[in-house]
Amino acid sequence: MRARVLPVANQKGGVGKTTTALSLAAALGRMGRKVLVLDLDPHVSASIHLQFYPERLQYTAYDLFQNLSSTSPAHLMDIWNKVRYAGNGLAFDFVPSHTRLSELEIDLHNRPAKGMILQEALAAVVDDYEYIILDCPPHMGILLVNALVAADLLLIPIQTDFLALNGLRLLFDTMRTLNRVLPRPIEYMVLATMYDQRASACKRVMQLLRRKMGGKMFDTVIHIDTKFREACALGKVIYDIAPAARGATEYLQLAKEIEAA
């Protein structure tokens, strides 16, 4: 069975993008699914979160973009010798990021079909997994374009805050541009994150999102949970330290909702 490719993206930082990518991967892993996560953000947040330090590894996501057009298939498979994260009843494969991903705009300036590099690279492993999750950078560029071109379903985490709505607008502008040239429109769903039911501003943003997004919003809502921060400090995911926590339960609910979609 071909893996579903799920980029996690928003053109605003601080909305729970990396937390969503790792927590969803862990939730699917707990459900027994075969999952691969790629950290495509030059800030390497997901990689550092899991204590996979790029400078200590032979290959990173940078190699997929830099070397694909000039290396043999055998070398490409060396790049896919991923590190593996295993925790409390879960496991997933992981390709770490590298700060040099920020150089790709220059490195790939003259490369033809540069927006399809990731899709071509994933063809080598797409039959080995059920889900491939991409943690995307929070800005428009070659990395985000590659992720959107490869997407089966784009997940857009959005903090329930009025400032976060602008990032959603920017991402939709990018998608409209790509949809003009792609064979099919990019499918997407919006996930409300960092929800605080005690705050009236959060409630207003949630009402606005439900009204504007309609069926394009997940039923699952991710509430604020300090266990996410604690897990990050320990180099873990939330299921390793508090599998019964509210946040852990909600991402498991999200995983089941995605499975049913």
Can you give the residue ranges of every domain in the chain?
Answer: 4-260
Residues 6+ apart with CB under 8 A from 33: 130, 131
CA dist 191 and 157 (Å) reads: 5
* Residue in 47, 80, 62, 52 with CA at minimum distance from that of residue 142: 62
Burial tier of 11 (Cβ tally within 10 Å: 0-12, 13-18, 19+)? buried
Q: What is the pTM of this model?
A: 0.92
With beta carbons less than 8 A apart as the criterion, state whether 85 and 50 touch: yes
- Report strand pairing: 90-95 vs 83-87: antiparallel
CA dist 223 and 159 (Å) reads: 10
Q: What's residue 109's pLDDT?
A: 81
CATH 3.40.50.300 holds for 4-260: yes
Locate 32 and state its tokens: 């027994």
Q: What's residue 67's pLDDT?
A: 63
Q: What is the mean pLDDT of each run of 10 residues along the chain (261 residues)?
A: 93 89 98 96 95 86 72 52 84 93 86 87 90 93 93 94 79 89 92 93 90 91 96 96 97 97 81
With beta carbons less than 8 A apart as the criterion, state whether 238 and 251 touch: yes
Q: What's residue 29's pLDDT?
A: 97
Q: What's residue 80's pLDDT?
A: 64
CA dist 194 and 233 (Å) reads: 18
Q: What's residue 14's pLDDT?
A: 83
Spacing of C-alpha 210 from chain mean position: 22
Q: What's residue 111's pLDDT?
A: 83
